Amino acid sequence: MRIRVLVADDHPMMREGLCAVIGRQDDMAVAGEAGDGHEALRLFRNLRPDVTLVDVQMPRLGGIEALEAIRAEAPDAAVPILNSYPGDAQAHRAFQAGVAGYLPKSCLRKELVDTVRAVHARRRVVSADVAQDLALHAVQERLTGREVDEPRLVADGQANKQIARQMALSAETVKSHPKMIFEKLGVDDRTHAVTVATRRGYLT
């Protein structure tokens, strides 16, 4: 029996390439293709593939949200995620949601197909680069959703008053709020906070 793989990626050329690699394997077959998270969830329900390969950044419903929805309906579903962004933040969220594998999109074809085989065999896979990022920041406290909002608004060029208005906070709170964020990111100023938050995947 071939491993039936559902491929979800919003970029047609990337999706075509992934399907081509999978289709060339003697032990695999492409069960379906999805262009966003909602379509991936619908096709998963209809096709019940052995493995659902999803991109982390997709319109309408992202890869991690699609993973959570799929596993809410099928807790044993094998869902590896591909990500084109570096950093530990997205990977940490994915593993909390029960991802079966986590790979950069730059992975070699052999890594991709080996991952599909491994997750189908109920093994969890993480690339060496992602594992290193997770290990480096394992003991650090992570930013909350509200804390991520502030460096995101700073990156967008928002001033304190604008940030305060959008976050429904006082200007004084916005001025003092970064101290906790700086401590968690190990930085001393907002510019560095944006740089580190972006590198770690908080602002993708």
Question: Tens digits of per-residue pLDDT, 93-115?
Answer: 888 899 999 998 888 788 999 99
CB atoms inside a 10 Å sphere around CB 183 = 11
Where are the domains positioned within the chain?
Answer: 3-136, 145-199
% pLDDT > 70, the chain: 80
The C-alpha atoms of residue 156 and residue 3 are separated, in whole angstroms, by 44
* Residue 181: closest CA among 169, 190, 173: 190
Contacts with 132 (C-beta within 8 Å, 6 or more apart), sequence order: none
Confidence class for position 72, pLDDT limits 50, 70, 90: very high
CATH for 145-199 is: 1.10.10.10
**What's residue 140's pLDDT?**
63
For domain 3-136, the CATH class is: alpha beta
The C-alpha atoms of residue 172 and residue 163 are separated, in whole angstroms, by 11
The C-alpha atoms of residue 130 and residue 92 are separated, in whole angstroms, by 10
**What's residue 135's pLDDT?**
64
CA 204, distance to chain mean position in Å, is 9
Distances (CA, A) of 164 to 97, 160, 183, 189, 194: 31, 6, 21, 18, 17
Do 37 and 62 contact (CB within 8 A), yes or no?
yes
The C-alpha atoms of residue 127 and residue 93 are separated, in whole angstroms, by 16
Q: Which residue has the tokens 């991690």?
A: 64
78, pLDDT greater than 90: yes
Residue 88: CA count within 13 A, CB half-sphere: 16
Q: Quote the tokens at residue 49.
A: 């593939």
**What's residue 60's pLDDT?**
86
The radius of gyration of the chain from alpha carbons, rounded to an integer in Å, stands at 19
Mean pLDDT of 47-52: 98
- Phi-psi domain of 201 (left: phi exceeds 0; alpha: psi -120 through 50; beta: other): left
Say which residue, 8 or 135, is predicted with more confidence. 8
Distances (CA, A) of 71 to 2, 42, 81, 120: 22, 13, 13, 15
The C-alpha atoms of residue 158 and residue 61 are separated, in whole angstroms, by 27
